[in-house]
Amino acid sequence: MLNLTEQIGVHQDFNLYIKSFKERLSSLFNTEYDYNSISLSRGLPPTFLSEIMAMNPLSVAIPEEHGGRGVHVKECLGVLSAASYESLSLSLMFGINIALFLEPFAKYADPSLHASVFKRFLEDKAMGGLMITEPGYGSDALSMRTAHELQGDTYTIKGQKHWQGLTGAADFWLVTARKTVANGELARDIDFFVTDNAIEDQKIIVQRKFNNLGLYAIPYGLNDINIKVPAVQKLVAESTGIKLMLDTLHRSRLQFPGMGMGFIKRLLDESLLHCKTRRVSGQPLSEIDAVKFQLSRIQAAYTLCSAMCSYSSSISSIAEDLFGNAVDANSVKALVTDLMQESAQIALQLAGANGYRLDHIAGRSVVDSRPFQIFEGSNEMLYSQVADAVVRVMRKTKVGNLLDYLKSYELTKDAAEIFGSTLNINLPDQTKQRQMVTLGRMIARVVCFQFVVHSNHRGFNNEMTEITRQHIQMDLSMLAGQWSAGTQADPLMDYEEGSDWTNFIHQ
């Protein structure tokens, strides 16, 4: 008789695998351990994490020829979703490994490195991550100061990186750096290197750990880099390192819905159960009209996230080059993380006082989902980039009306007409950045609702689709109001002069 971890091995049918994986996670989180208590401490107990990793969840992102399940996006998203139903931190841990190490490593690393590295993931339960962000350069990655220099057949890499998930816990890293050129300046392009912390010359030193607000299971910190790696450990870009980075980040952003899926479903399940059983003035919460509205918001988020997963599964495999997919990738990442945070806020509100605890699913969800709106590109920046990309083409093709353009644009042509007059916006010659963010929020919703339309055509629930349409229509109407209001308000930096209310009280 095979034991459970052998039964759910890497060669099992995926439907059986994911079913067993979900059941095992549920047992670990809800029966064998008290995750509500564990979640209050930083990191995960080694035995607890060992039990999880014994199920080989990262095998979904390892090629079949190296003993894995084959890097199928649907399976990767399935594992992320199963994990996030129990713990968003655990799902992010998997997401970092899958999208920010294993997938780019499988696609771009020298094939001679594959066998030994993948073997350590499968047999030794190794982990990997990505280092881009620096103390002085967050989203401005192209200005990073970490530098590399080739000496013989070895690269010397020096710099600092911070806010990398799995700081001090990952065995392998993809480290980004810029080439040192003759005059001591750094080249514009970015290069990626694989590092192995088990090798002394490649060991990255953790200067200090951060007290991150949420996501307690994942360590973050400040890293000092002064390492030497063989030339073979430089990733091989198909053209430029910048395109490699964009391909990696866009693929990662398109897979965010995997982490959002189980998370939103858990909040929906918990909220529906609570509202069915909690009674106020003799009636269940679920019968109160304002509560119905809030629950339907989470159901719309669930529907959108489901459709995003379907779209990502069809487009984001490592066989595809995604460096040009800024509009869909940024729309998906920004909107799904906004939906995650909104769903958590609703769940907390519905749970009442009990939800305002870190050891309650709702309270924990609020703080754990909040950074998703910031890392891998803050949502305001991504929405602005979505609008920039669309407006640039509109101006080039001399189309001045948003609805006219979206009706012909591949990512929105099947959804734009549904929202008709709400999108009937004429672009001015000059648009302030704040309005570009608003415009990006609108475009992202139309892009993602088109995924819902396509899912509905394939049989997705009609009533859930209609709930989602109504909420997207409401959101677009509100955003259109913001656009037309066109506020010009700027902050007053020396605001205290003439603004102390106590000076205007006459007794």
**pLDDT 10s digits, 382-399:** 999 999 999 999 999 999
Best CA proximity match to 234, nearest among 293, 296, 192, 283: 192
Q: How far apart are CA 157 and CA 177, in angstroms?
A: 7
SS3 (DSSP) at 279? strand
Q: What percent of the chain has pLDDT over 70?
A: 98
Cβ neighbors of 335 (< 8 A, separation 6 or more) are 304, 308, 444, 445, 448
Residue 63: how many CB atoms within 10 A of its CB? 15
Query: Looking at residue 1, what is its pLDDT?
Result: 32
Cβ neighbors of 439 (< 8 A, separation 6 or more) are 383, 387, 390, 391, 402, 425, 431, 483
Best CA proximity match to 191, nearest among 147, 128, 223: 147
b/e code 156-171 from CB counts within 10 Å (16+ = b):
bbebbbbbbbbbbbbb
Average pLDDT, the chain: 95
Q: Which residue has the tokens 């993380």?
A: 337
Tokens of 338: 């906004």
Q: Which residues pair with 234 in a beta bridge?
A: 193
Contact between 375 and 218 under an 8 Å Cβ cutoff? The reply is: no
423: pLDDT strictly greater than 70 = yes
Q: How far apart are CA 122 and CA 62, in angstroms?
A: 9
Contact between 195 and 204 under an 8 Å Cβ cutoff? The reply is: yes
Q: How far apart are CA 447 and CA 185, in angstroms?
A: 41
pTM: 0.95
Query: Looking at residue 11, what is its pLDDT?
Result: 74
Query: Looking at residue 3, what is its pLDDT?
Result: 42
Average pLDDT over residues 230-250: 97
Query: Looking at residue 5, what is its pLDDT?
Result: 42
2: pLDDT strictly greater than 70 = no
Helices (H), 278-372: 289-315, 326-351, 361-369
Q: How far apart are CA 191 and CA 428, in angstroms?
A: 39
SS3 (DSSP) at 13? coil
Cβ neighbors of 424 (< 8 A, separation 6 or more) are 401, 402, 403
Cβ neighbors of 414 (< 8 A, separation 6 or more) are 450, 453, 454
Query: Looking at residue 184, what is its pLDDT?
Result: 81
Confidence label for 250 from pLDDT (cuts 50, 70 and 90):
very high
